[in-house]
Amino acid sequence: MKRSVPDLLHAQEPLVMVTAYDYPGGRHAEAAGVDLILVGDSLGNVVLGYDSTAPVTLDDMIHHARAVRRGAKDTFLVVDLPFGTYHTGVTDAMRSAVRVIQETGADAVKMEGSSPEVLEVVSVLSRNGVPVMGHVGLMPQTATAQGGLKVQGRDEESARRTLEGALALEAAGAFAVVLEAIPARLARLITERLRIPTIGIGAGVHCRGQVLVYHDLLGLYEGDEKKLAKRYAELGKGAREAISAYAREVRAREFPTRDQSFVMKDDVLGKLY
Ligand code: KIV
Ligand code: NA
């Protein structure tokens, strides 16, 4: 059964979130029974081949989220608002969020940061019925300004900024917050201080939930191991081996066999000669 926002707020069991970007991904995640699916703007990196999430557009997100929703009709669906689509004022942010909700059937949107501008957007959206998931710690959309894709919250200033950002997001009305790449002890403190669930990625075991990127979890890219991710499969290796086997069999005329071939009615062939 699809989770609701109140149900997620009060969940006693750890929440399971995974990203998905297309129809098969949505189907696999829903069949596995996850609590939430995130159409992350990591789309830019893992599916579209950009080296950052910055080029991802709202139309890209909507196109992919629609496909995920077709594969996962009964799972709580969160869609990332990409870079630039919630930074030019509350009206624009509301318009972006409404497009996502109306055009994809998403249940919530997610956005990065806890600047006064973002907090205002979170507050207006949540008060107007758009559930918002926050995201603090490492924030890929603005990683350049954070000094690259680096662990956050190691020193006092950065730890305080992350804690205060999470508290401010809760106060603004966010229903959950992603903690990305921060020390496990800090994530534990933040989780204890908040009433809303924390969902960790590279944030230790004490968060109220966990999220992994689909391609990391499934090992879809060989040689792309990340400290914060665990690879539960090596599908990239499997895919490469399968395509190589197919290529070998085509070249050896071993594929297709009779199993994959169709037969004619008995008397037809003679008439064609
Ligand atoms: O875009 C994404 O996949 C994310 C998760 C890593 C939380 O924001
Ligand atoms: Na993201």
128: in domain: yes
Cβ of 213 below 6 Å from ligand 1: yes
112 is in an annotated binding site: yes
253: in domain: no
Q: What is the pLDDT of residues 77-112, one digit of tens each?
A: 999 999 999 999 999 999 999 999 999 999 999 999
- The CATH number of whichever domain residue 126 belongs to comes to 3.20.20.60
79: in domain: yes
How many CB atoms lie under 10 A from the CB of residue 32? 10
267: in domain: no
Residues paired with 19 in a beta bridge = 38
Active site residue 180: yes
| Number of domains present in the structure of the chain | 1
Give me the interface pTM, i.e. the ipTM: 0.99
Q: Could you tell me the two tokens for 11? A: 């969940």
125: in domain: yes
186: in domain: yes
Range of the domain at 21: 5-238
259: in domain: no
Calculate the dihedral angle through the C-alpha atoms of 224, 228, 231, 237, rounding to the nearest 10 degrees: 0
**Whole-angstrom Cα distance, residue 220 to residue 34?**
19
Question: How large is the greatest C-alpha to C-alpha distance in the chain, in angstroms?
Answer: 86
27: in domain: yes
Mean pLDDT across 123-145:
95
By residue count, the chain amounts to 273
Q: What is the pLDDT of residues 151-178, one digit of tens each?
A: 999 999 999 999 999 999 999 999 999 9
170 is in an annotated binding site: no
User: Among all ligands shown, which has an atom nearest to the Cα of 141?
Assistant: 2
pLDDT score of 144 more than 90? no
